[in-house]
Each structure stands twice: as C-alpha cells, then as structure tokens.
Structure 1
C-alpha cells in the first residue's frame, strides 16, 4: 500500500516536472530574437513605439499627424522600409517593449541621462527641450500670480504622468531648494490631459516638457508655461544596445532629413520656430 502511494506521488511529480519543461520550452519558442538593421532590412519592417499625443501620433479628422510619426514617415521614404507605429503612453512600458524586442525604436523626446545611457543607445539629439511648470495664469486664477521662483514650489503638489522623466529632476530640485515637493505620478493621464486639468482648476500644478507645453498652450490660454523646472536637455530616440548598425542608420537618415530641409518643416509645423 505504501509503495503504491509512493508510485502515485512520483507519477504526480513527474507530470508536474514535464509540464513545467513544456511551458518553459513554449515560452522560449515565443521569445522574439534580437534585431539589428540586417534583420530589419531582411523583413522590410521597422517597428517604432511612440505615445498618443500631438508630439507622437494622433488622428485629426481623417488624417494621422504627430511630430514623431512624420519623422518616421520621412525615414520610411529614405530607407524603403515599412515603418509600423505602435502606441504606448508609459515610457517605462516602452522601454520594456524595446528590451523584449517587440519594437526597434522608441520614438519619443527622451532626455538623455548618464544612467539611461548605460542600458540603451541614443540617436543624435532630435530636439532641445526642458521641463516647465504648468499652472494657471493670474486671469484664470482669481488674480493669483503664477510661481516664478523655484523656491516657492516647497510644499506644493505637482502632477506628472506615471514614469515621467520629470520625476528625477523634481527629486533633485527638492535637494536644491532644501524642502519637500510633493509629486503625484498619475497612472491614467498624459501631460496633455494634466494640462487640461490645470486649466479647468482640477489641479494647480503639472510638469511637462516645454515642447508639449507649447502645443497645449495653443488650445488652453488659461495656462502659464513660463516657469522653468530644468535646464535645456538633449532629447533623442532610443534603440537597444545590440542594435548599433540601426543606430548608425538612423543618424544617417536624420542627417539627410536635416540637410534637405524636411526636418525644419516638420519641427515648425508642431513646435513653431526654433
């Protein structure tokens, strides 16, 4: 009887072990292999991930627009590749997709820091940008003057999108002013949506990059965007460390787009005069 129970136990353990091995094998077979330019060119498809907003990709009527989207279109024409655009609002999730080989490029204005350069490769700068405070104008805020001195951010609550690059800057700013800045990372709303909430009076302060703030200001005259949170930063697209040839190709395409004047036309359309 005891031997029979042991046989049953061993059989159950064997079934569990075999099932686990099958699951691991299936998972491995579904892993996407790394891709550099050679593999991308062979397939003829370049996958980029960007965010759904005026800076990345958005639909206006029956037209697809967006600063990053139009740069992608220009690259498609130069390279002969089909550029597929995937949407992801979270920067952290975008980096995960890149690391998992689900995309080849993160097409966003990403601030380049020494820490992030250890893990990814970055193109030559796409834009010069900085973080700014989004608040209401005096006229839209019962005569209360906007904050102009960063010291006055002490004990204030500032909203940013989840995983925003602005978080690191705000933590450093806390040290600089020697006081606490309360930061709320919103998991639902983008920088554009937070700017709308500021304009409506739902929240008092948000932080986003200057380029996006300028786009929001055109639609929201109630907001003030003239208080800087950071110095001017270089911002670029990101690729994996194992895609150095793709990086060189992107830089070459960007140089051609700049040389023929197309970059300036696209930039002016979305951000105005440089």
Structure 2
C-alpha cells in the first residue's frame, strides 16, 4: 500500500496516541450528561471540546499538538482560567451527536453554517470562509476528469456521512436537472478521502477547500479546482441550550481576532 495512503487510512491509530499523550480523556458515566452552559463549565473548570483530527484543526507533529482550532481553544481556555478536555473524532455524525447529547460543550472545528446545520446548533461568529470542492485526479493523468459541474450528472461523489455539504449537492442536482449519486463515508475524514482518490480507490470526493489545500502537497496527482459551492461561512457550534457559552465565545473571539497573535495564527493555516 502507498505510504501516503497508509498515513491517512491509519489516522485512527494516531488519534489514539494523541489521546494518550493529552491525558485529557476521562472516564465518564454510562448515562450521557445534560448539555451545559457557561456557568456550569466555569464552575467545574473544564471545557469539553470535540474536533476533527486533520492538518487544519488539530494534529500532532513530533509529539507537539498543533492546529488552528486547537490554538484558538487553548487561547480561550487560558484566558478564562479553565482546563481543556479535547476529543478528536473523525465522524461528523458522532461530533454532532456528542454536542446534542451534552457529551461535549463545543464543536471546535470549522463547520459549514447552513439552514440544515442551524437547525441543530448555535454557531459562533464566522471563523473562516471556504468552499466545497470536487477532489479528482488531474486531467493529464485520468480520463475521468470533470471540467465543470454539469458533468457531474450520473457520477458518484463520496462525502462524509451527514456532512452539511450534502445539502449543497442536493441543491446542485436541482440546478443541473439531473442525478448525482452520493456515497456517504462514515469512518474517514476529508484527508482520507483525498488519499483514496489519489490511489484510485474512488474517483470523486467532495471536501472543504481549506483542508484539501493543506493536504494537497502529499497528493500531487490531485485536482481541486472545480467548485461545488460558492464561498460559505464556517464556525464553531454549541448546543442550543448553551446560549451564554455562545455569547462568551463570541465576545472573546471579537477581541482576540483583532490581535497580532491571531493574525499570525490565521496566516499560518490560511495563507
């Protein structure tokens, strides 16, 4: 198996190591806790966040934890004098369910804000802007190359299960007046989908542009120039029973995003 593909397919092992290194994951009762708001979080002194293990949000390099969302989380927790309990979770469905059940307080990875996702979560102010892109092999290396959205008719797109991007694909079907087949992937994240397209295991995937760009150096045979969506808003999410937490996050973000420290962080991941 190609080393780059193996790197991404075995990401679950890396996540397990990450959790051990953090030492932040505690044993919890079998019964799911109720959603908490800011006062309860401050009282316990622990913020429980769930994120995705990828090259933008949260990852480990040489035993050091890095990532845009991780750095933001760390700065927020330090400012508020609370500890962080971070859980990397590849499944979007499980991240969302964890927030809804109160297992986690904060969905701390850039999540697409649309009418569907707003039915489930309260979102912070916009953290980044991005698009959904078609991941495929380059034209010079693959006869299956697609030049525009109209050519997606009767093609199969692999998408993370229950991703907010599904709504956009269904709307795209209406726009091109034809069928696009969707294969939802539960166990892998965006970077694993890139690896699978690169190796020819699948032909097309739909991913967030920022994550695709960050991993593209590992897959020189891939093309992400075809947009599936227009520019969209991405933010953190909290349970609808946590409005004060949302206000506290927004107030802090408004101030922090004006600092030189934030500008340096943003340029590091979104240049």
TM-score class normalised by the smaller sequence: 0.7 to 0.9
TM-score computed with the length of structure 1 as normaliser: 0.83
Distance 1:196 1:29, change over 3 A: closer
- Partner residue, 2:17: none
Distance 1:31 1:197, change over 3 A: closer
- Partner residue, 1:80: 81
The answer to whether 1:131 aligns with 2:132 is yes
The answer to whether 1:90 aligns with 2:64 is no
Q: Per-residue deviation at 1:145?
A: 7.7
Mapped partners of 2:139, 2:119: distance in 1: 43
Distance 1:210 1:31, change over 3 A: closer
Any unmatched runs of 5+ in structure 2? 1-28
The answer to whether 1:203 aligns with 2:199 is no
Rg: which structure is higher? 1
Mapped partners of 1:211, 1:184: distance in 2: 22
- Partner residue, 1:233: 232
- Partner residue, 2:241: 242
Q: Per-residue deviation at 1:259?
A: 1.2
Q: CA RMSD in A?
A: 1.8
Mapped partners of 2:114, 2:240: distance in 1: 15
Name the SS for the 2:216 alignment partner: helix
1:147-193 residue CA offsets vs partner (Å, 9 max, x unmatched): 22110111111111222222111111111101111111122321101
For residues 164-203 of structure 1, what are the structure 2 equivalents within 5 Å? Answer: 164-203=163-202
Name the SS for the 1:85 alignment partner: strand
Distance 1:29 1:216, change over 3 A: closer
The answer to whether 1:149 aligns with 2:148 is yes
Contact 1:49/1:105 (8 A) holds in 2: yes
TM-score computed with the length of structure 2 as normaliser: 0.84
Q: Per-residue deviation at 1:38?
A: 0.8
Mapped partners of 1:92, 1:190: distance in 2: 11
Mapped partners of 2:81, 2:187: distance in 1: 37
Mapped partners of 1:122, 1:70: distance in 2: 19
Mapped partners of 2:32, 2:111: distance in 1: 27
| Number of aligned residues | 243
Mapped partners of 1:31, 1:185: distance in 2: 27
The answer to whether 1:220 aligns with 2:219 is yes
Mapped partners of 1:202, 1:30: distance in 2: 39
